[in-house]
Every structure is written in C-alpha cells, then in structure tokens.
Amino acid sequence: MELEYVSEDVAYIPGAVNIGVIIDEGRATLVDTGLDRDSGRKIRKLLEERGIEVAAIINTHSHADHFGGNDYLVRNTGATVYAPSVESGIIQNPILEPVYLFHGAAPIKNLRNKFVLAKPSPVHHVLTPGETTINGRTIEIVPLPGHSLNQVGVLVDDVLFCADTVFSERVIDKYRVPVVQDVGSHRDTLKALKETGHGLYVPSHTKPTDDITGLVERNLETVETILADVLRLLDEPKSTSEVQSELCSSYGLDLDVVQQYYLIHTTLMAYLGCLYEENSVEIRLEGNSLRWAKAR
C-alpha cells in the first residue's frame, strides 16, 4: 500500500478498492475504507507512519467492500462518518445488503460473508448533494445514483472520487453483467459524468484517469447491450430465472456460486424494472407465475 498524491493535499491509496485521502493539517478525510478490519488497519498504519491521523470517513455507498473498514477505524481513531441517505441505513444495518439480495428474507449462510455483509458502522452525518465542509475543508458531494441506489462521489481540488460509476474493461469482460441497482439512474449518471471535465477521476476499482470519456462510453455501451439482449429474449414470455439462465449462457457465464447467482439476479431485476418502467416490457401474471414479455 502506498499513498499516491494527486494534488498538494489530496491522495489515494491504490488497492482492490482505491481509498481517497483528503488531508488538512495532518488530519485526513477518507473516501471509503475497503473491505474489512484488515484494510482499516492498513490504512491507519500507512497514514500514521506519515504523521496523518484519520479524522473523518465519507462512504460513497453501502456495498460491503466500501465500508467494511469503518468499524476498525471508528473504534481506533474516533473518526466521524458521513454517508448519503439510504446508503447510511445499510451501513448502520449491514444485514440489509444480504437481505435485499435474498429478496427481503432472512439471508441464507451463502450470503453472510464479508463480501456482502460488513460489520455495522455508525453514521454521524447524512450527506446531501452540494458543497459541505468536512474536517475544515470544503468539498462537493456529487450525486451518482444507479450502481447503488444513492451513491455519491466526492469532488475536491478538481479531483472526482467517482466510486463504482465506471468499471474497467477487464471487469466488464470478466463479469459481463456488472452490479447495477437502478439502471435508469445509472444511465443518466454516466451521461452526466461524460459531460464533466474534471482534472482527474478516481474510480474505486480501476486506476485514475484524466479522461473518463472512454470508460464512460464502454460502461454505457454495456448497459445498452444488456437492455437490448434482455429485450430480445422476451420475444417469448419468460420468468426471471429463465431470462437469467439464457442471458448468462449467451454471455458464456457459468454461475456456480450461489452469491454470484443472487448478485446477477438483483442486477437483472434492475434491467427488467427499467424496461418495464419504459413500457418496453409487460408483466404476464398467469397460473400463479410471473413472466416478462416484450410489450405488444
């Protein structure tokens, strides 16, 4: 782990989740905290070795790999936690992530591991979009909903920490159906992001770039392709699991882990929901079975 400076007092720690570090007089505001206690401990050690203490944490959204380090850091540094509404509810009650993956029911053990179930963290302040002062520094909270219902980014010194708005080519090629919870919002967020011209963008899972256009286009194209492919499958009415099975097979995926099945299932619901809200598909509720079909 290293601290990579992108301006005089803004840096990030590269890793499985890039951690933003905004420094003000030896005190840091983190953007996300990684997966678990281990990431929290490493972040603290790296900063303390440089004479920097952790004062605040901004969580961009409530996926476990973005706030799993909170518990350790809050206990050991007394950091103040900031998160947007909705996301803050899950950060304080992380069981809600596997609960929604398991359709609202008490989750089975396959969905109770640290990748989807982090330790709870307090949220001291709920963030709203716009300028706010944290740890003596004015920053802008940028709404980036879609990947997660109320995801936000953090803009400081013309550097935008843009969370999971964009995934890399490698991730898209590997997973084919990247996690999205609200496809309509995600598409709007990507289009808006493309029109911004910030000095640097720091996505959570790929390296920073001063030109986000290519990545945004690739991510938008992925959304449009999945929408078109799902719609094509619905020439004949199909249940959600039939759509999932046929879509994944057509993408060469072989879902052999229960958690992966449910993550894609939730994402597919977001695609079906988007097509339904746009009146491209309709619901056929017959014989106690719910099927989706291309709108007539």
Chain positions contacting Zn ion, by CB under 5 A: 63, 164
Which is closer to Zn ion, CB of 16 or CB of 283? 16
Minimum separation from the CB atom of position 61 to Zn ion (A): 6
Which is closer to Zn ion, CB of 95 or CB of 293? 95
Minimum separation from the CB atom of position 225 to Zn ion (A): 20
Minimum separation from the CB atom of position 206 to Zn ion (A): 13
Which is closer to Zn ion, CB of 112 or CB of 205? 205
Which is closer to Zn ion, CB of 52 or CB of 215? 215
Neighbours of 77 (CB within 10 A): 20
- DSSP of the chain: ---EESSSSEEEE-SSSPEEEEEETTEEEEE---SSHHHHHHHHHHHHTTT-EEEEEE-S---HHHHTTHHHHHHHH--EEEEETTHHHHHHSTTHHHHHHTTTSPPPGGG-STTT-PPP----EEE-SEEEEETTEEEEEEE--SSSTT-EEEEETTEEEEETS---HHHHHHHSS---S-HHHHHHHHHHHHT---SEEEESSS--BS--HHHHHHHHHHHHHHHHHHHHHTTS-B-HHHHHHHHHHHTT----SHHHHHHHHHHHHHHHHHHHHTTSEEEEEETTEEEEEE--
Quick one: tokens of 18?
Answer: 């890039």
From CA 212, how far away is CA 161, in angstroms rounded? 12
Minimum separation from the CB atom of position 52 to Zn ion (A): 26
Residues in the chain: 296
Torsion over CA: 207, 211, 212, 214 (sign):
negative
Minimum separation from the CB atom of position 267 to Zn ion (A): 11
Minimum separation from the CB atom of position 63 to Zn ion (A): 3
Minimum separation from the CB atom of position 79 to Zn ion (A): 21
Point out the residue whose Cβ comes nearest to Zn ion: 63
Minimum separation from the CB atom of position 178 to Zn ion (A): 9
